[in-house]
């Protein structure tokens, strides 16, 4: 009889603790509905430099079928980037952050990349905040658009888009200065 009671009590304790765990895995955010969505417009320039002694984008992998291919960004190549973001298109313009991430040359026919990049801001109102992009970028199109998929800091839960336009492009070595006009919705 005493053994049955112990088994019963152990079973009850186990059931009660399981219920408690199941009830506490989720809670309502007390700020939900109180935070107002904001719309922010940003304008800056990205300097993507593949040439020289200190490039800001470097090839980290290449498909063996494209070895010897003469393009600055052969199909299947993966690049790691740490590109400066500036207020103006000049290389001497004030640096406001950097874009870090990867891009993959994704087209066999034209210059097109798929990019995963975090745009981190290091000065001003958005210091310490960043915007994340994951999108296809058809580089040879004059005006193009990429998707904003997230952010952190002041850009928490960001979504939106960026309009891109080449301010400078060297087809021989792949160096480029790209104008970004971003529209971001965030909390």
Domain locations in the chain? 38-186
In terms of C-beta density within 10 A (0-12 exposed, 13-18 middle, 19 or more buried), how is residue 177 classed?
Answer: buried
What is the CATH topology of the domain spanning 38-186?
AOC barrel-like (2.40.480)
> pLDDT-derived band of residue 133, with 50, 70 and 90 as boundaries?
very high
> pLDDT-derived band of residue 75, with 50, 70 and 90 as boundaries?
confident
Q: pTM, whole model, 2 decimals?
A: 0.79
Residue range 173-183, pLDDT digits in tens: 989 999 999 99
Q: What is the distance of C-alpha 100 from the center of its chain?
A: 8
Residue range 92-124, pLDDT digits in tens: 999 999 999 999 998 888 888 999 999 999 999
Nearest partner of 71 among 174, 177, 176, 178, judged by Cα: 174
Measured CA to CA, the distance from residue 39 to residue 64 in angstroms comes to 44
Measured CA to CA, the distance from residue 169 to residue 145 in angstroms comes to 17
């Amino acid at each position: 009889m005493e053994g049955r009671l112990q088994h019963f009590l152990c079973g009850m304790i186990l059931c009660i603790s399981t219920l408690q765990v199941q009830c506490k895995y989720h809670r309502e955010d007390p700020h939900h509905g109180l935070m107002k969505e904001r719309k922010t417009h940003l304008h800056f320039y990205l300097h993507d430099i593949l040439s020289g002694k200190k490039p800001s984008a470097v090839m980290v992998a290449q498909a063996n079928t494209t070895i010897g291919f003469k393009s600055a960004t052969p199909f299947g190549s993966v690049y790691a980037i740490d590109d400066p973001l500036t207020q103006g298109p000049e290389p001497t313009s004030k640096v406001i952050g950097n874009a870090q991430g990867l891009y993959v040359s994704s087209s066999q026919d034209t210059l097109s990349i798929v990019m995963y990049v975090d745009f981190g801001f290091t000065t001003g109102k958005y210091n310490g905040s960043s915007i994340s992009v994951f999108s296809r970028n058809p580089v040879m199109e004059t005006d193009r658009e990429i998707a904003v998929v997230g952010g952190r800091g002041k850009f928490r839960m960001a979504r939106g888009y960026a309009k891109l336009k080449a301010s400078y492009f060297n087809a021989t070595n792949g160096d480029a200065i790209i104008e970004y006009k971003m529209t971001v919705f965030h909390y």
